[in-house]
Each structure stands twice: as structure tokens, then as C-alpha cells.
Amino acid sequence: MRNHTSFETVPQGEQQRRVRRKEINRRQLLLRPVEVEKLVDLDHPVRAIWELVGGLDLEPFFAEIESVEGVAGRPVWDPQLLISLWLYAYKDGVSSAREITRLCDYHPAYQWLTGLEVVNYHTLADFRIEHKEALDQLFIDVLGVLSHEGLVTLQRVMHDGTKVKAWASDKSFHRKATLEDHLRLAREQVEQMGDPESEELSQRVRKARQRAFREKQQRLRKAMEQLEHLKARRSELSDKEEGKRRNREPRASTSDPEARIMIQAKGAYGPAYNVQISTDAQAKIIVGVGVGQSTDAGELEPAVERVEANLGDKPQQMVVDAGYTNQETIEAMARDHIDLIGALAERRNSRWDPLKWCGKSPEFYPQAFTYDAGKNGYRCPVGKELLYEGEERKGGWLHRRYRARASDCQACSFQTQCCPGTRRGRSLVHREQTVALAAFEAKMKTSEAQQIYKQRAGVAEFPHAWIKDKIGLRQFRLRGLSKVRIEAVWVCLTYNICQWIRLCWNPRRWVQA
């Protein structure tokens, strides 16, 4: 008997009346028929995911399966199921294989997918990272479906990066000496574990510990390699931001050696990766995804290559913010005949005046110096020559440096206003003005280009907000650049499928069936 009724006496005036309440019986045992097909509604998104994945070519996933008929071995889970499970989980904001396994036990959508079976979390975790090429192909195939629906045109692509926290803490970053200590300790711990055949620990516990120590050693060695890589990179870099850090000893994380300390939302610094997303403006579909370890500078050309690899064609127009626009990028886009729309970095930093900060008077700002093309030099406000000294590349710009003679400046009565605190002569940096750069600057002054640029944030940042707020990718669950990229592709694939469900999916097929 399921429903019990209890009575309680309630005073009611002079008489008492008894209220009947339903009681909860948690000691009962039920046997109920479950019609799996009816676990989810006909218009439930899990059906859309199953339908879309089932219509794609999953041969690359099947090609890697060794269990075949006629040969001994257990059957494996259908890739269509594992892909659908991961896509539905990401759509629901779940990125843990263990959590999916738990959900298979009681959540109707997961039960409908698996037919009331439970998929082991090891199987799910391995599947997520083991099919990199097949996953890339799946991403391309879904783009093909979206293109067929007219949601991707490549006429205008907006590109931007977003920082996503790495699976590491600030405290896991160490200098070389500390990493060497950690590595020595890890080796000693492995040695102290003694005879692997010892009976003191169960075989399972012993193997788990050995694996944990082995992985720790691998991460420490990787961190040491990354330190060397960082040192080499810093010695090459000469731009202002890296220049400040050049003299500091680099640090690498023992949790995720390939993560980098980056500035994130609200100016906070922390270990992160820079996820680069190209979004087609037609329906805000992601047409390319990459993961970087540095700033946005230099990321636009690889982004264009990714879009071309995915869709067989380059975008007609790319729209980016000031983090991407520099001389190298502007010229590369002009070479590829891509219409680049973007802001220049100077505008972004216009509130900070570095010349004023280092004590120069406005009368001696660069515009007061005149360029003499014949002599390839400048002339200062008092008529002294600044001669060509050399050129260097900084943050994608070619800088030519000119310098006055030290004797001229030391004898000059305006030295404290022109070049205070330097014994060398006044220097001037000239950014080369190429044809492509001049054309870009002229284009960006037109109202048409400015109107297009105003649309950038609404399109480029839409998928960032979706993948962080709806899919929940605020921190990667995987470690290392390669695995992090795989997770980013899963998330962007989920995002695109969500857009397909939102804009194209028609559940009538299920209703009619």
C-alpha cells in the first residue's frame, strides 16, 4: 500500500477535527515498468543530439575500434552513444566523466541515451581524449551541416580570444631550483616505496600509488622543459610587456606545466589558456577554434588557416579588436585578400601618455621632429640631426630607431625638457608606414568600417558568454595544451550543435515516428 493517511487532532473552537495527511513511506519496494522511449519528451534536446550525431559519418571513430565480430573480446560502446553522452553532458554544463556515470543511473535523458545501461567513467574519460583527429573531423562535418542550412557564409567572421582557467593553482608555479627539489623528492618517494611485490599493500593500491608518482615525475620533467622554453622565448622577445619580465626568473606549474599566468577578467592574474574562437557573423556559428599560451597578438593568421582547413575557403572579411592589429597581421591579411576591420592598439592605450610619464615636454614630442627622407634621418626642434641607428621588430611592428648625437644633446639648453635623465642623445622610434597599413588606417576612418566594427562585440563575444555561462567552461578539466585543445573542440562542437537545435531542429520527425 503506497499512500498512508494519518490523522492529527486540531483544536477547532470547542470541537476537535482530525486532518488527513499523506505520509511518505521510504520502506517500500517497488517494481515499475519503464518505457525507455517515453523517458524524455519528443522535443527533448537529447533526441536532437542523437539524431544529428547519427546522421554524421562516424567512420573515423569506428576505424580505431579493435573489437570486431569473429574475434574474441567484449563488444564496445557505440561511438554514437559516447559522442552523444559527452555532447549532452557539456550542453548541461557537466564536464566530468564520473558525473556522467552517476547521471546514467537516474537522469531520464542519460537513461534514454544509454537504454538504462551505465557507462563506466574510464570508458568515457578515455574516449574524450583518444580521438583527436576523428573529433576534428566531426567538428568539420557539423560545420558542413550548418553550412548546408545557410548558417555559415564566411562573408564576415569575427575573431576574439577568451581566457579560461587551467587546472592548476597559482601556488603550483615554481622556479627551477624548487622544481629540482620536487623532482628529487619524487624520486626518493618512489625508491622508498620498496619492493613492488610487497604484500603490505593491496596490488590495486600499490599500482595506483606507483602511477600517481610516475605521473608526478612526468609533470615535473615537463615543467623543467617548459622553463627552458620560457627562458629561450623571453630572450627572443623585446616588446614592452615581456621586456619588463625578462630579468625575472621564469616559473612553471607542477600541475599543468603548459599553463601560463595570464591576465583574466577584472584584472586578476592566474594560470590559464587563451581560447581563440572565430565566429561567422551570419548566425554566430563557431567556424574555428584554437588554444594559445600567450596574448592575442599573432593569433589571427593561424585562425584564418583553421577556418580555411575547416571549410575549404578563407573568410572574406575578418573583424578583430586592437589586440590583433599590428603591421605584420595587416600586411598578411592584405596579401590573402581578406578585408580586415579592426582598431589599432594606440587607440586602446590613448589614456596613458608614456612620453609625459618619462618627463618629456609636449614641445619635444615626436611630431615636433621633421623627417628628411633624402638623408633618412630626423631634425629636432633646434635643428640637430637624428641619424638612423637600426631597426627591430616589436609586437608585430617594424620599428626604425633614430638618435641624436650625445654631444649635441648634452650641450643643448632644452635637454631637461627633451630627453631628461639620459646621457645618450635623444632617440625617436619610427613605425614604418607601408601601403597596406596606410590603406587600413584610411579604411578605418570611414563610417562603414566603424559601423561594422561596432558589431564585433555582439558577435565575437556571444559564443564566449555561451560556453562560459551555459556550458560552464570557466576552467579546463584536462591538463596540457593538447588535451586542453581537445576539450575546447568538444565545447565548441557542443555550442554549434546547440545553435543547430535552436535554429534548425524540427522534432516533428519524432512525433510522426
Instruction: Give residues in contact with ligand SF4 (CB under 6 A).
Output: 364, 380-382, 384, 404, 408-409, 412, 414-415, 418-419, 425-426
Nearer to ligand SF4, 19 or 411 (CB): 411
Kindly tell me the sign of the dihedral angle through the C-alpha atoms of 224, 230, 232, 235.
Answer: negative
The x, y and z cell numbers of residue 245, run together, are: 619580465
Task: Tell me how far, at minimum, the Cβ of 366 lies from ligand SF4, in Å.
Answer: 11
CB nearer to ligand SF4: give 59 or 363: 363
Interatomic CA distance for residues 238 and 400, integer angstroms: 14
Query: What is the nearest approach in angstroms of ligand SF4 to the Cβ of residue 372?
Result: 14
289 or 419, CB closer to ligand SF4? Answer: 419
Q: Which residue in 501, 503, 490, 504 sits closest to 85, CA to CA? A: 490
Cα distances (Å, whole numbers) of residue 323 to 265, 348, 353, 446, 447: 15, 9, 19, 21, 21
**Residue number, 255 or 422, with CB nearest to ligand SF4:** 422
* Of 117, 81, 150, 92, nearest in space to 472 by CA: 92
Phi-psi region of 428 (alpha: psi -120 to 50; beta: other; left: phi over 0): beta
Q: How far is the CB of 171 from ligand SF4 (least distance, A)?
A: 49
User: Nearest approach, Cβ of 416 to ligand SF4 (angstroms)?
Assistant: 9
Nearer to ligand SF4, 387 or 503 (CB): 387
251 to 171, 173, 269: CA distances (angstroms) = 11, 6, 14
Inter-residue contact 93 to 470 (CB < 8 Å) = yes
| Min separation Cβ 364 and ligand SF4, Å | 6
Residue 489: what residue type?
V
Smallest gap from Cβ 385 to ligand SF4, in A, equals 9
CA distance 45 to 110: 12
Round to whole Å and give the CA distance between 99 and 486: 19
Smallest distance, Å, CB 371 to ligand SF4?
Answer: 14
Q: Is 120 helix (H, G, I), strand (E, B) or coil?
A: coil
- The residue among 402 and 495 lying less far from ligand SF4, judged by its C-beta, is 402
Minimum distance, C-beta of residue 421 to ligand SF4, in the bound complex (Å): 12
Which residue's CB is nearer to ligand SF4, number 163 or number 360?
Answer: 360
State which residue, 284 or 403, has the beta carbon closest to ligand SF4.
Answer: 403
User: Strands (DSSP E) along 226-303, which ranges?
Assistant: 252-253, 260-263, 269-280, 285-292
Question: Which CB atom, from 206 or from 384, has the smaller least distance to ligand SF4?
Answer: 384
Q: What is the Cα Rg of the chain in Å?
A: 31
Nearer to ligand SF4, 277 or 409 (CB): 409
Phi, psi of 272, deg, nearest 5: -160, 175
Residues 6+ apart with CB under 8 A from 17: 9, 10
Would you say 280 and 150 are in contact if contact means Cβ atoms under 8 Å apart?
Answer: no
The whole-angstrom separation of Cα 41 and Cα 43 is: 5
Least separation in angstroms between CB 406 and ligand SF4:
9
Pick 403 or 485: Cβ nearer ligand SF4: 403
Q: Are 488 and 291 in contact (CB under 8 A)?
A: yes
Nearest approach, Cβ of residue 427 and ligand SF4 (Å): 9
Least Å distance, CB 413 to ligand SF4, is: 8
One-letter-per-residue 3-state SS of 359-419: CCCHHHCHHHCEEECCCCEEECCCCCEEEEEEEEEECCEEEEEEEECHHHHHCCCCHHHHC
Residue number with CB closer to ligand SF4 (220 or 412) = 412
Minimum distance from residue 356 beta carbon to ligand SF4 (Å): 16
